[in-house]
Structure 1
Amino acid sequence: MIPCILFNWLLDSIVLSSIAVITLIYYFATSTYKQLKKLNVPHTPPVPLFGNVLKMVAGLESKTDTYGRIYRQHPDAKICGFYEMRTPFLMIRDPEIIQAIMIKDFNYFINRGLQFDPSINLLARSLFFANGQKWKIMKQKLNPGFTSVKLKGMLHNIKACSDRLVKFIEDNINNTTGIEVSKITGNFSTDVIGTCAFGLELDTINNDSEFRKNIKKIFGLNTKSFCILLLGTIFPNVVKYFKLHVIPLEATNYFHSVFNELIEHRTTNDVVRNDIAQELIKAKRELVLDSTGIEKFTDSDIISNAIFILTGGSEPVAATLAFCFYELALNRDIQNKIREEITSTNEKFGGQFTNELCMNLPYTDMVLNETHRKYSVVVNVIRETTQTYKVPGMDSFIIEKGQKIVIPMSSIHHDPKYYPNPKTFDPERFTKEEISKRPNGTFFPFGEGPRHCIGKRFAEWELKLVLSIVLTKFEIFPCPKTEIPLKFNKTSPVLVQAKNGIWLNFKPIVA
C-alpha cells in the first residue's frame, strides 16, 4: 500500500513539476509578444521562441526571403512589425519615413542597435558596430582616408590588381569547366584593399593567402558559430559568461597580429604612406596615446577598425562584381553596350584608365546600380531609437527609445511598385528620367545619410575600373556549369552569396 502511495506521489510531483517547467518556458518564450499589439502595428502572430523567423533559423529560408515575406504580408502599411526570436522589430516600409530616419532625423537613430560584447568579438569595437559619440569620433578620424585626393592616388594600385586578374583569366581561359568568378573576384578585392588601405602586396589572385582564408572565416558561418549566434539572441548573458565566439578566435587573432605588427613597424621606422593605415596610426596617437577625452579608446579599437576596413572593403565588392559578370554574361546586348561606352570613353582620355574615365561612364553606372538593386548583398539596414520619436505623416504614432527597427533594403529594391518586373536585369531603370519617377528612399545600396558606407566612393571607383579593364580584354559567356537562375545560400549570416558559386567562360577580344 505504501509503495503505491509513494509511486503516485512521485508521479504527481513529476507531472506538476513538468507543467511548471513547461509553463515557465512558454512564458519566457512568449513574454515579449504583446509589444507589437500594444503599438497597434500590423504583424503576423509569432511562433513561441522563434517569432516570425522560424524558417530562417531552420535554414529553410534565406534572410532575403524571410524579410521579403514579412514585407509583402503588409502591402498597405507604412510600418509593420515582426519578432526576430523574442525581440520585437518595426519594419519601415514607407520611403518618406525611411528618408527621415536615415537623413533628416538621423540623430534619433544614430545607433545600429547590434549588441556584441567587445570582449568576445573584436569587431564589436569597429566603426560598423560603434554607437553614439564613439562612432562620431572614429568616423571623423577615418574619413580623411577616403577623400577624392586619396582615391585618385589609389587608382594605379587598383589597376595593377586588375591587370593581375586579367593575367589569371588568360592563364585559365581554356578550362573546360569555366571559371568560378566568385572566388577570383574575392581574391581580387582582397588584393585591392590590402594594397590600397595598408600597403600590403598580398597577390591573393595567384596564391590563396592567409588573409583571404581568414576573411572567409569571418564572413562564413559554421554550425558552431550559428548555434552561438542563436544562443546569443535568446540568452546573451550565457554567451558573455562563457565567452563564446561567433567569429572564430583564430581569425581575429590572425588579423590582430598582422595589423599590430604593421602599425608597430611603421611607427618604429617612421614609415609614412598616403593610405588608410596611416589614418589609423594617427587615430591611435590621438585617441589612445594622447587621449584626454571622455570616450576611452584602446589599441583593440584601432585593430578592430583595421579588420573592419579590410573585410568590409573586400567582400561586398567581390560579391557585387561577381553578380555583375553573371548578368553581363546572360545579357549580351547590355555587355556590348557597356563595352562600347568604356572603349569610346577610354579613347577620349588617351587610352589611360584614370579617374576621369571613371567619372564619365554613365551607362556603366546604370549597370552597377541595377546590379546593386537586383543583388542587394546586404539585406537590411538596422537602427535603434536613441530617444522617443514621433513618426512624420502618421498622426500620433510614437517609436519609443530603445526600439529596434529594420529598413528592408532588398525588399524595397524588389518591390514592383517602384521597380516593375524586379527579377529582370534592366539598367534603363537608372536613367535620369526613370530615377525622377521614383520617390527618394527607394534605392540605397550603401545605406544613406551620415551612417552610409564610409567606403562607398572607393567601392564605386574600384568596380568601374576593374570592369573597364576586364571588358576591354574579354567577352563573358555562360558555361555548362552556369546556374540559371542562381540558387542562393540560405544560411549566409551577413552577405547574399551564390550557393554553388558563379561559373562563367571568358573569351579574349582580338583587336
Structure 2
Amino acid sequence: MALTYILFQVVVALLAIVSYYLHRKLTYFKRRGIPYDTPHPIRGNMDGYNKTKTVHQIYQDYYNKYRDSKAPFVGFYLFQKPAAFIIDLELAKQILIKNFSNFSDKGIYYNEKDDPMSAHLFNLDGPQWRLLRNKLSPTFTSGKMKFMYPTVLSVAEEFMAVMHEKVLENSVLDVRDLVARFTVDVIGTCAFGIQCNSLRDEKAEFLYFGRRALLDSRHGRLMTGFMRSYPNLCRRLGFQRCAVHVQKFYHRIVEETVSYREKENIKRNDFMDMLIALKNQKEVTLENGEVVKGLTMEEIIAQAFVFFIAGFDTSSSTLGFALYELAKNQEIQDKVRAEVQEVLQKHDNKFTYECIQDFKYLDQVINETLRHYTIVPNVDRVAAKRFVVPGNPKFVIEAGQSVIIPSIAIHHDPSIYPEPNEFRPERFSPEEIANRPSVAWLPFGEGPRSCIGIRFGQMQARTGLALLIKNFRFSTCSQTADPLNFDPHSTILLGVKGGIHLKVEAV
C-alpha cells in the first residue's frame, strides 16, 4: 500500500511539474504583453495543420489578422514552441541581413547521430553549417553551372520529344506531373550521374522516391510537432525524421555512385563529382587554427539528398504554376514566346548558357510565379543572443527563441504588392524591384543564408520554361481547376490536389 501511495505521489508531482512547465510556455507572450492568439495545448497556433489547412494558409491568416497591429512581431506557437512571428519588413531585414550573426541558425530539427541524412546544409546550424557552406559554395558558381548546362539541356530536349509524343496521344495533359519528371531527370543526372528515365517511365525509381521523400515521414503529426517543440530532448531520445525506405534508397544510390566513379575514375563535371572531390581533399589548417577535413560519406549522402529534394520539387512546382498562369493569361504567354524567339535569333537559334541569361521577361514570369505561389511558406531563424527590436524596447526576442518570417504572407501583402492575387510579371521590372525592400521577395531566403542552389534552380527553370513555350501553346480547358486546390497534407511545400491539367498544342 505504501509503495502504491508513493508512486501515486510521484505521478501527481510529475504531472504538476509538466502542467506548470506547459503553462509557463503557453503564457510566454501573455507575460510579456505581446499580441498573440491563445494556443491549443498541443497544436499551438497550428490548428488544422496537415488536415484541413496548408502551412501557407495558417501563416497567411495569422499575418492578415495582425498586419495592421503596428507590432514589429507577434507571438505564435509552433505547436508548443513560442516563436516571434515577424510582421515588420525592417525587422525582417535586421534578422536576415544586418544582424545575421545573431540569427544565423534555423532551429529546424535534425539528428546527425541517429539520422545523418537529416544533417544537411538546409538544416544544420552553428559552426557545422558555416564550415559546410564554405566547402560547398564553390560548387555553385556561375562557372560550375556553365559546365552542367549541357547536361540540363540534353534532358530538356528529351523532355520536348516526350511532350510532342504525349500531345499526339492526348491534347489535355497533367503538366504538373510532366514537369516533375523533367526535374527528377535533371537532378538525378546532375546530382547522381544516373539516367533516371522518369520522362518515359511513370514507375521510375527516382521519381517514386522523390515523391515519397516529400510525403512520407518517420512519425505522424503529433510526433512532428513534438520534435519541433523539443528538438534537444528528441535528439537525446534518438528520434529520426526520414522514413526508413527513403533512407535506404538514397544511401544505396549514393554509395554505389561514389564507389563506381572512384573505381572507374569517371568525371562528369556534375554535383556528385564536386562532392567526391570534397571527400578526397587533404586536411587543411586555416590561419585561425581551424582544421578543415574532407566530407564524410554520410555528409555526401545528406547533401546529395537535399540537393535532389530541393531541386526536384521546388523547380517542378514553379514550372507547373508558371504554365498554369500562362495558360490563363495568353497575352503574357505570347510575350514570353516572342522574347524566346528573339533571344534565340541572337544566338544562332541555339540554346546556350549565355542565351538563358537574356530571358529578362521570362525571368520576371518565374519571379512572379515564385511570389504568387510561394513554394516554401516561411524563413526560420533562432536568436543566439537577446535582441531588443530597435525603437520598440517592449519587443524582445530572447536567446534561443524561434523566429518565423512568413514569406507567403509578405508576398500577398497588398501594401507591398497591390492586388496580390493578380498575376503581373511587371512587378519584377528593375524599376519596381528598386521601389521595394530587398526582403519583400523571399522564395530563396535572403542574406548570407539564402539558398545556395539559386543559380541551378534558375538555370533549370528558365531552360525548361523557355523550351516549353517555344514548342507548345498552353491553354485552359474543362479539366483545368480554377482556383487550384492545394493539398493540406503537403507538410511544408505547396502541393496541388489532382494535378494541373491544361490543353497543349504544338506551335
TM-score (structure 2 length as normaliser): 0.90
Structure 2 residue aligned with 1:153: 147
Residue 70 in structure 1 maps to residue 66 in structure 2: no
Q: Alignment partner for residue 51 of structure 1, among 44, 48, 53?
A: 44
Decide whether aligned partners of structure 1 residues 294 and 144 sit closer, same or farther in structure 2, where only a CA change above 3 A counts: closer
Q: Is the 8 A contact 2:120 2:306 kept in 1?
A: yes
Taking the aligned partners of 2:30 and 2:206, their CA distance within structure 1 comes to 48
Taking the aligned partners of 1:356 and 1:301, their CA distance within structure 2 comes to 33
Q: Is the 8 A contact 1:225 1:245 kept in 2?
A: no
Structure 1 residue aligned with 2:261: 266
Decide whether aligned partners of structure 1 residues 106 and 468 sit closer, same or farther in structure 2, where only a CA change above 3 A counts: same
Taking the aligned partners of 1:332 and 1:319, their CA distance within structure 2 comes to 20
Structure 2 residue aligned with 1:389: 387
| Deviations 1:157-207 (CA, angstroms, capped at 9, x unpaired) | 121111111111111114557211121111111111122233222221112
Amino acid corresponding to residue 428 of structure 1 in structure 2: E
SS of match in other structure, 2:499? coil
Compute the displacement of 1:289 (Å): 11
Residue 42 in structure 1 maps to residue 35 in structure 2: yes
Taking the aligned partners of 1:485 and 1:86, their CA distance within structure 2 comes to 33
Structure 2 residue aligned with 1:485: 483
Structure 2 residue aligned with 1:433: 431
Residue 173 in structure 1 maps to residue 167 in structure 2: yes
Mean Cα displacement is larger for which, 76-85 or 392-401? 392-401
Q: Alignment partner for residue 402 of structure 1, among 400, 403, 414?
A: 400
User: Which sections of structure 2, spanning at least 5 residues, go unmatched?
Assistant: 1-7
Q: Is the 8 A contact 1:95 1:440 kept in 2?
A: no
Structure 2 residue aligned with 1:8: none
| Deviations 1:262-291 (CA, angstroms, capped at 9, x unpaired) | 112222333333222122112222488999
SS of match in other structure, 2:128? helix
Q: Is the 8 A contact 1:221 1:492 kept in 2?
A: no
Structure 1 residue aligned with 2:120: 126
Q: Is the 8 A contact 1:228 1:246 kept in 2?
A: no
Q: Alignment partner for residue 278 of structure 2, among 267, 274, 283?
A: 283
Taking the aligned partners of 1:86 and 1:328, their CA distance within structure 2 comes to 42
Q: Alignment partner for residue 372 of structure 1, among 361, 367, 370?
A: 370
Q: Alignment partner for residue 216 of structure 1, among 201, 207, 211?
A: 211
| Deviations 1:356-378 (CA, angstroms, capped at 9, x unpaired) | 22111211111111100000000
Taking the aligned partners of 1:381 and 1:33, their CA distance within structure 2 comes to 23
- Count of residue correspondences: 498
Residue 144 in structure 1 maps to residue 142 in structure 2: no
Decide whether aligned partners of structure 1 residues 177 and 343 sit closer, same or farther in structure 2, where only a CA change above 3 A counts: closer
| Deviations 1:379-432 (CA, angstroms, capped at 9, x unpaired) | 000011122223334346432211100111010000011111111111111122
Decide whether aligned partners of structure 1 residues 169 and 425 sit closer, same or farther in structure 2, where only a CA change above 3 A counts: same
1:402-481 matches, cutoff 5 A: 402-481=400-479
Amino acid corresponding to residue 122 of structure 2 in structure 1: F
Residue 192 in structure 1 maps to residue 186 in structure 2: yes
Mean Cα displacement is larger for which, 16-25 or 260-269? 16-25
Mean Cα displacement is larger for which, 369-378 or 381-390? 381-390
Q: Alignment partner for residue 337 of structure 2, among 315, 336, 339?
A: 339
Q: Higher Cα Rg: structure 1 or 2?
A: 1
SS of match in other structure, 1:112? coil
Taking the aligned partners of 2:335 and 2:371, their CA distance within structure 1 comes to 19
Q: Is the 8 A contact 1:158 1:462 kept in 2?
A: yes
Decide whether aligned partners of structure 1 residues 135 and 19 sit closer, same or farther in structure 2, where only a CA change above 3 A counts: closer
SS of match in other structure, 2:48? helix
Q: Is the 8 A contact 1:228 1:239 kept in 2?
A: no
Amino acid corresponding to residue 33 of structure 1 in structure 2: L
Decide whether aligned partners of structure 1 residues 463 and 436 sit closer, same or farther in structure 2, where only a CA change above 3 A counts: same
Q: Percent identity?
A: 30
Decide whether aligned partners of structure 1 residues 221 and 268 sit closer, same or farther in structure 2, where only a CA change above 3 A counts: closer
SS of match in other structure, 1:428? helix
Residue 250 in structure 1 maps to residue 242 in structure 2: no
Compute the displacement of 1:17 (Å): 11
| Deviations 1:80-126 (CA, angstroms, capped at 9, x unpaired) | 11111211000112112212211121111111111222344333211
Compute the displacement of 1:245 (Å): 4.1
Taking the aligned partners of 2:472 and 2:254, their CA distance within structure 1 comes to 37
Taking the aligned partners of 2:130 and 2:15, their CA distance within structure 1 comes to 46
Structure 2 residue aligned with 1:11: none
Structure 2 residue aligned with 1:9: none
Q: Alignment partner for residue 315 of structure 1, among 313, 316, 330?
A: 313
Taking the aligned partners of 1:110 and 1:21, their CA distance within structure 2 comes to 36
Taking the aligned partners of 2:379 and 2:130, their CA distance within structure 1 comes to 18
Taking the aligned partners of 1:281 and 1:268, their CA distance within structure 2 comes to 12
Q: Is the 8 A contact 1:177 1:481 kept in 2?
A: no
Q: Is the 8 A contact 1:111 1:131 kept in 2?
A: yes
Q: Is the 8 A contact 2:108 2:228 kept in 1?
A: no
Q: Alignment partner for residue 330 of structure 1, among 328, 331, 350?
A: 328
Q: Alignment partner for residue 201 of structure 1, among 169, 192, 195?
A: 195
Decide whether aligned partners of structure 1 residues 26 and 481 sit closer, same or farther in structure 2, where only a CA change above 3 A counts: farther
Q: Is the 8 A contact 1:85 1:234 kept in 2?
A: yes
Structure 1 residue aligned with 2:5: none
Amino acid corresponding to residue 43 of structure 1 in structure 2: Y
Taking the aligned partners of 1:492 and 1:413, their CA distance within structure 2 comes to 20
Decide whether aligned partners of structure 1 residues 391 and 21 sit closer, same or farther in structure 2, where only a CA change above 3 A counts: closer
TM-score (structure 1 length as normaliser): 0.90
Decide whether aligned partners of structure 1 residues 191 and 480 sit closer, same or farther in structure 2, where only a CA change above 3 A counts: same
| Deviations 1:457-495 (CA, angstroms, capped at 9, x unpaired) | 111121111111111111001232210000101121121
Decide whether aligned partners of structure 1 residues 331 and 42 sit closer, same or farther in structure 2, where only a CA change above 3 A counts: same
Structure 1 residue aligned with 2:92: 98
